[in-house]
Amino acid sequence: MSEGGTVTTEDMATGDSEWPQEPIPGDHNRPIRGRYSMDSVALEKYNDWLNGSYFDEATKQELLEIRNNKREIEDRFYKELEFGTAGLRGIIGAGTNRMNKYTVRKTAQGLANYIKTKGEKAKKRGVVIAYDCRRMSREFAEESARVFAGNGIKAYLFDSLRSTPELSFAIRYLNCISGVVVTASHNPPEYNGYKVYWEDGAQIATDKAEAITDSIASIDNFESIEVLDKEEAKNRGLLVYLDEQIDNAYIKEVKKQSLRGETVRAVADDFRVVLTPLHGTGSIPVKRVLREIGFKNVFVVLEQEMPDSEFPTVECPNPEDKKAFELAIELAKEKDAHLVMGTDPDCDRVGAIIKDKDDEYIILTGNQIGALLVNYILEALHEKGRLPRNGVIVKSIVTSEMGPNIAKHYNIETVNTLTGFKYIGEKIKQFEETGEKTFLFGYEESFGYLAGTHARDKDAVVGSMLICEMAAYYHSMGMNLYDALMHLYNKYGYFSEDLKSITLEGRDGLEKMQNIMEYFRMNTLQAIGDKKVLYVEDYELQRRIFLHNNGGIEEIKLPKSNVIKFILEDECWVCLRPSGTEPKLKIYGGFRGDTMDESKEFLATTMGWIEGKIKGIQLGE
């Protein structure tokens, strides 16, 4: 090491000079093959952090420990951690491409600068901040509050863990200009993230995300970031800690979405539920709302009840994965439970386990839960005479068509949005401003649900309440949710959905992904498998192309997105979408059949055909 603590490329001559053959943790957009020469820009940034007076000793010590590891220095410093369409997400650690207090401060300063462009009134309205159970979540939340306070922007900070949907609710309840939640959802323990919301309670729209990204990029050095001491911020009224007042108001609004409280109370002595919060924020709010609407027998998985940043009992705290429910199923067998539910760490998604006709525990898909809830909500509102004529269901374009079929039975319209719950939040705002429609329910196939408009993001608290209430309702009629689902299939057709992912890593992978999308954009398929293509929806070109009856083109009035969807005969469809967060091309499929076997056969055949086609494109065939 040279004098002054600076590391040079010569110092690293005997270091790790070979790239590994496996992907680099935390990033999949870098080539990883062959020998490697240290990037001088990355090394310069590394030395800036190692020697800069702004960075604390713990950070410098962490960096010293990797001084002979070219690979690690490169990965940590070759770029800035990117602020995407809703915020940051990355591995925790020292470096510009990591989640740490310095990158969080810079992001908060960028957001503060953007807020200041909205005037003094916006600054006084302030920002509300929540955080979940992950490593460094509280520290990142407090650092953000100090930056906002340093910029004269009032910061409201929850005094302990809170869910993402409560953060969404709190923004409008407190009339804040913006909101932040520190979470990485169901990512592995080494990750954390930083999601930004705007005054409507929804995640920031694309135009605001781009403006905030530019604002962050304009910050030349960390020394220019305004950070106020925590005690001084409190004394000046720029840092306010929030307590149970917001909790009470939020739970009150969630409970307004209960539709059959009398049924819950009637079966409460007999009906049994197992709940796992998967070490996250869901335990307190979900238990509370279930108790307050009348459930008496809610058994929590003790090993997973307390918040724990390491998620020690699961490989991944994801309620989409049945493996995450292993302890919950054990408890369900012990208690002979009628329903098992699990929420993710920030409690915005919920999954459910039920018994099938063979008395085996099965996990419901997000599409199945969504269809069940659409039917339950519309049926209950219809019975009570509360179903509005202009009511609407909102779902993403890659979510099953079963829900819309059910909604149509009740003369309720379904509106499609791009993938991402912020687009559903935007629709809620639009409907409230225009009065043209009444929002009833929004959902995505990825286990996100929202009833009511108290939040503008998916809400596992209200979702858990309605799933539990729905199961209790069917229990009162001698049925379970499996029976209810089979009844819907018999009535509306057997719908099957699937998601396949093709991993394409590195810059070459990104180019391949673009080439694949361009192929399907330029070469309109007349059929996929045995199904005729009726029309193609190209969300990048914002047009719908009809292939029969003299064709024609129709405008798609949704934001641009690199997504292509093929609408096939017999209510079937296939959709191609590059992931925004992973090096993957995602293939979604949805199929309707007269029997479940027929539906699944169509699904397997067609998804296999499209995968084969993509492999052929990659090989140049």
Backbone angles phi, psi at 6, to 5 degrees: -80, 135
Specify burial of residue 6 (Cβ count, 10 A radius: 0-12, 13-18, 19+).
Answer: middle
Provide Rg for the chain, Cα atoms.
Answer: 25
Helix (H) or strand (E) holding 414: strand 413-417
In angstroms, the CA 14 to CA 69 distance is 10
Nearest to 163 by CA among 361, 375, 380, 345: 345
The answer to whether the beta carbons of residues 553 and 546 sit under 8 Å apart is yes
87-91 β-sheet, strand order: 87-91, 191-198, 178-182, 127-131, 155-158, 239-242
The answer to whether the beta carbons of residues 207 and 461 sit under 8 Å apart is no
Output the DSSP codes for 165-232. HHHHHHHHHTT-SEEEEE--TTS-TTEEEEEEEETTSSBPPHHHHHHHHHHHHT---GGGS----HHH
Q: How many CA atoms lie within 13 A of 400 on its CB side?
A: 29
Strand-pair partners of 601:
none
For tokens 């702004």, what's the residue? 54
Strand-pair partners of 184:
none
Nearest to 309 by CA among 460, 96, 92, 463: 92
Map residue 330 onto helix, strand or coil: helix
Catalytic residue among 137, 163, 185, 400: 185
Map residue 348 onto helix, strand or coil: coil
Backbone angles phi, psi at 19, to 5 degrees: -75, 145
Q: Is 224 one of the catalytic residues?
A: no
For residues 532, 538, 539 and 540, what is the CA-based torsion angle, rounded to 10 degrees? 150
Specify burial of residue 526 (Cβ count, 10 A radius: 0-12, 13-18, 19+).
Answer: exposed
For tokens 């990659």, what's the residue? 618
Active site residues: 185
